[in-house]
Amino acid sequence: MITQTFGNVAPTSTTVATVATANILSLNPPGKAPVSFWTQAVSFQAIGTNTATVYICDTPTPNLTTGIGVCWEVPAPDGATNKSRPAWVIGDPSRSNNPVNVAQFYVLPSVTGEGLRVTGIKSGTQQSTLSCFILTILLSYKIGSILLAAGRYLFGWKDFTTWPNLPSRSL
């Protein structure tokens, strides 16, 4: 598993939500829409000092009365002991073919300055596939070099254009 932390997203407004990727400046160019950041899952966890509900939304301006634009509510942690920190996980890190765009989610607190800790989780499949592809290319090159060297020694090859001219063996 590969994780990407987006830090504590704690908006200063209780009416306009903040994008979940707000702390990563390269994903939030000024005056432009947030840049997509695809993962297999995204986790939202209540910050330990929260005193009220924080909403996970699919729009920066949800309607808390009708619930339109509100995906989930994350309650405040257990205030007495602070041992329980509620969280929501969206997606499935074991399935690389069902990506989740972290930038499509917004955080809206009931109390100014409260928020959620946001973490993206990748399965590592893309990185593993790329590594295997590069390894295959390197091995192919090495095997090709070995075959050419053997062909030069055994059959007098200068390159692979004469490889079909191998001596035939009949049984």
**Claim to verify: residue 74 and residue 145 sit in the same structural domain:** no
Look at residue 19 and tell me if it is in a domain: yes
Residue entry with tokens 């301006």: 61
**Which pLDDT tens digit goes with each residue over 64-105?**
999 999 999 999 988 666 667 888 888 877 777 778 899 999
The predicted model scores a pTM of 0.69
Residues 116 and 140 in one domain: no
What pLDDT shows up at residue 122?
82
Shared domain check, 144 and 96: no
Residue 143 structural domain? 125-164
Q: Give percent helix, percent strand, percent coil of the chain, each to the nearest 5.
A: 25, 25, 50
d(CA 27, CA 21): 7
